[in-house]
A and B are shown apart, each in its own frame.
Chain A
Amino acid sequence: MHPIEILTANLPALLDGLWMTIKLTGLGAIAAGLCAPWLALARANGPRWAQWGLRGYISFIRGTPILAQLFLVFYGSGQFRPFLTDIGLWSFFRDPFNCALLVFAVNSCAYQTEILRGAISAVPRGQIEGAHALGLKRWQVLRFITFPNAYRMAWPALGNEVILLMKASALASIVTVFELMGRTRQIFSRSFDLSVYLWAAVFYLALTAGFVFLWRLAERRLSHHLRQGDAP
């Protein structure tokens, strides 16, 4: 079949998969983004035991394939089925989407924590001391000094991490989540037409390009006050 026909014939399925990819990536990144700043604070300035625990967590996540992490949660949870049923969590772990989302969130959280830790420790000490001298409370220092500075520095790296997560979300297809890669494999197994893989590639590249554009837009907003020559 002509590549265009392959696309038009399967467009609804592919778009459905694309939406699933966006959902997996977006929800995973947001869930990770909610935990990461607090873990990064603990990793940068927390008590010794918290720092060691977080180091172990980050090292494990970074040192193992995300596919292995996914299998550990999705298939591994089956080993504790009676226990998980008892505490009412089995229905959660039975669903591959939930497992994939959990793994992506925990995985991305480790990377985001490491990125933010670097940024938090790079916030100039003078600014924090100045804020204390002005009588700002601890949470105010975090809210107005530490986090705005840290996020501005970490923003490009965080964007890269979201793109990596988006690419990793293709692995969910292996535990039967029908996101873009899953739909693509399904269509290929019926048609044996290679062009569907090339269309998937186009979709992924478009997704990355769109995301990079939005992320840059947000970056401009975050550092608006730092640009020279702009009218106030």
Chain B
Amino acid sequence: MTDLFAWGDAGWGDEILFGALTTIRLALVSLPVGLAIGLTVAALSMAQSRVARAIATGYTTLMRGLPEILTLFIVYNGVGMLINVVSGWIAPDARPPELSPFIAGVAALAMVFGAFSAEVIRGAFTALDKGQTEAARAFGMRPVQILFLVQLPQVWRLALPGLGNLWINMLKDTALVSVIALDELMRATKVAIGVTKQPFTFYLIACLIYWGLSVASEVGLARMERRANRYVVKR
């Protein structure tokens, strides 16, 4: 049992650990991209223009209604074909560059995270006390100042629980990217099973690693929430 997970060529400990690191890297890179999409879509959904609001609603409805694996395949195959077509126009003789599974994974995960987080962020904005914004305007603060000094610090506090859940969901969704051949935790596990023929043992280990990451995230998020709420008067 212990030599199965030994370091180096003898066991699979290092392969699986590197897979887990790729999983974490994938989730960490997708997070800021997804948050940027989420903030943009949330801004669109609160805009004056009806077109902007319609785009935001369409995007969130679509992305939240589709299975994540379908989104991933559409991004991977669709963008791959687009690259082929575009490179065919620019340089017909050159071999088209390949879309790396990592980038396709980041794109798909961030698109899904963006749609869900847009709803969370919009909800947090609507929960803000209107009087504070009005007071800030009465003080003569500019809109940018109001956004950064009054609104966003509170949006962060209100959106954090929802965003935390989405983070854990995304961490789990990284497993899907193994299907387009990215060597993350699931795929490293699969490779190990191909040699050792012990699927239950290895998939159990993979599950335990994901579980550990989720529980660690929950603990970390609980701390962040406590910190974000430290100045809030309990009533």
> Which residues of A approach B to under 8 Å, CB–CB?
59-60, 62-69, 71-72, 75-80, 163, 167-171, 173-174, 181, 184-185, 188, 194, 197-198, 200-201, 204-205, 208
Partner of A59, one of B77, B174, B201, B211: B211
Write the chain A residue with the least CB distance to B82.
A194
Beta-carbon contact of A204 and B67 below 8 Å: yes
Interface-centre pick from A59, A67, A72 (highest chain B CB count, 10 A): A67
Bound CA span A171–B67, Å = 9
Beta-carbon contact of A65 and B77 below 8 Å: no
Partner of B207, one of A60, A174, A204: A60
Beta-carbon contact of B210 and A197 below 8 Å: no
Q: In the complex, what residues of A have CB within 8 A of residue B66's CB?
A: 167, 201, 204-205
Beta-carbon contact of B69 and A181 below 8 Å: yes
Beta-carbon contact of A204 and B193 below 8 Å: no
Q: In the complex, what residues of B have CB within 8 A of residue A66's CB?
A: 172
Beta-carbon contact of A64 and B186 below 8 Å: no
A89 to chain B, nearest CB (A): 14
- Confirm or deny: B115 has a beta carbon within 8 angstroms of a beta carbon on chain A: no
Partner of A201, one of B74, B81, B200: B74
Selected A-B contacts with CB under 8 Å, 20 pairs: A59-B215, A60-B207, A62-B214, A64-B214, A65-B176, A66-B172, A67-B176, A67-B178, A68-B203, A76-B199, A167-B66, A170-B70, A171-B67, A181-B67, A181-B70, A200-B70, A201-B62, A201-B66, A204-B66, A205-B66
A52 to chain B, nearest CB (A): 15
B39 to chain A, nearest CB (A): 24
Bound CA span A204–B174, Å = 21
Interface string of B172-215 (1 = CB under 8 A from A): 11111011000000100010010001111101101100110111
Bound CA span A184–B198, Å = 31
Write the chain A residue with the least CB distance to B81.
A194
- Give the bracket for the number of chain B residues in contact with chain A: 35 or more
A53 to chain B, nearest CB (A): 16
A200 to chain B, nearest CB (A): 6
Q: In the complex, what residues of A have CB within 8 A of residue B65's CB?
A: 163, 167, 204-205, 208
- Confirm or deny: B143 has a beta carbon within 8 angstroms of a beta carbon on chain A: no
Beta-carbon contact of A68 and B70 below 8 Å: no
- Confirm or deny: B225 has a beta carbon within 8 angstroms of a beta carbon on chain A: no
Bound CA span A127–B135, Å = 45
Partner of B172, one of A64, A75, A170: A64
- Confirm or deny: B14 has a beta carbon within 8 angstroms of a beta carbon on chain A: no
Beta-carbon contact of A60 and B70 below 8 Å: no
> Which B residues from 24 to 38 make CB contacts under 8 A with A?
none
Beta-carbon contact of B214 and A79 below 8 Å: no
B176 to chain A, nearest CB (A): 6
The 9 closest A-B pairs by CB, nearest first: A63-B214, A76-B200, A170-B67, A65-B175, A75-B199, A79-B200, A65-B172, A72-B203, A167-B67
Bound CA span A194–B75, Å = 10
Q: In the complex, what residues of B have CB within 8 A of residue A63's CB?
A: 168, 172, 210-211, 213-215
Interface-centre pick from A68, A167, A170 (highest chain B CB count, 10 A): A68
Interface-centre pick from B67, B81, B199, B214 (highest chain A CB count, 10 A): B67
